[in-house]
Amino acid sequence: MECQTLEIQELHVSVEGKEILKGVNLVVKQGEIHALMGPNGSGKSTLSYALMGHPRYEITGGDALLNGESLLAMSPDERARRGLFLAMQYPVAVSGVTLYSFLRAAVSAKRGYGEAARASGNQHRQGHLIPARQFRQEVNEELEKLRMDPAFLRRYLNEGFSGGEKKRAEILQLALLKPAFAILDETDSGLDIDALRIVSAGVNHLQQEQNMGLLVITHYQRILNYIRPQFVHIFLNGRIILSDGPALVDRLEKEGYEWAQEEFGEQQ
């Protein structure tokens, strides 16, 4: 099988007329783990939202390709169905929608149950959904891996969830949707050390099992002790200013971002 890639080419993104991303270049191949590190406000989350297709983020130049095909004209759901996933830093609450029904609808959409039902003329009320029994089994397995209480499924999506619960719910979605490429946006924030360990183990397991391409966005090195990147990129002022191997993480941890700013920030 051909190697899948997520390729970002000279991407420029504006929000409300203000340019945030100023020419981002990055290639993530299937099976690779990349870390994107940068201080708050450097535009890391803008990159993740723009890749997923948030309507408020306007692409003013460049391109983003999934397996050679531009994502830019695709709606967020098309991007998701083609194998892109974003674990969000601040997932929103949707009142009245249980986590269970949301997950079941999302898994069904991703795996094409709706289209299959339409193609075969299946008119059954739940024909567009993954069979309940099969789904229940899958979701229970994933809940166990993430040490989550099944009662969680009956709660309304992200409503009243603690920071840590939200992050676990994001990773639960990742586990069920099994994307080819996942972006984890500040997944470590809000997680205590035990939760971080469990969530990271879950991500690592999936990454290996699915040979997933991962882009881990963070401003601490903490999560990178558990999810080990092969490539590390420093992100500053809307650009990647430096890319290197895992040793870069330690240097950032010891010396902060300032040296990188001084050495590499000006020249672009």
Q: Which residues bind to other proteins, rule: CB under 8 A? A: 52-56, 75-77, 79-81, 85-86, 88, 91-92, 94-97, 101-102, 105-106, 109-110, 114-115, 118, 121, 123, 125, 156-157, 173, 177
Q: How far is the CB of 18 from other proteins (least distance, A)?
A: 18
Of the pair 85, 257, the CB lying nearest other proteins is at: 85
Q: How far is the CB of 254 from other proteins (least distance, A)?
A: 36
Helix axes 99-110, 132-145, angle to 10 degrees: 110
Cα separation, 23 vs 8, in Å, equals 9
Query: Please, are residues 109 and 77 in contact by the beta-carbon 8 Å criterion?
Result: yes
Query: Please, are residues 46 and 21 in contact by the beta-carbon 8 Å criterion?
Result: yes
Query: Please, are residues 175 and 167 in contact by the beta-carbon 8 Å criterion?
Result: no
Of the pair 148, 224, the CB lying nearest other proteins is at: 148
Of the pair 173, 200, the CB lying nearest other proteins is at: 173
Q: How far is the CB of 152 from other proteins (least distance, A)?
A: 17
Cα separation, 219 vs 36, in Å, equals 8
Of the pair 58, 253, the CB lying nearest other proteins is at: 58
Residue 237's φ and ψ, nearest 5 degrees, are 45, 45
Q: How far is the CB of 109 from other proteins (least distance, A)?
A: 4
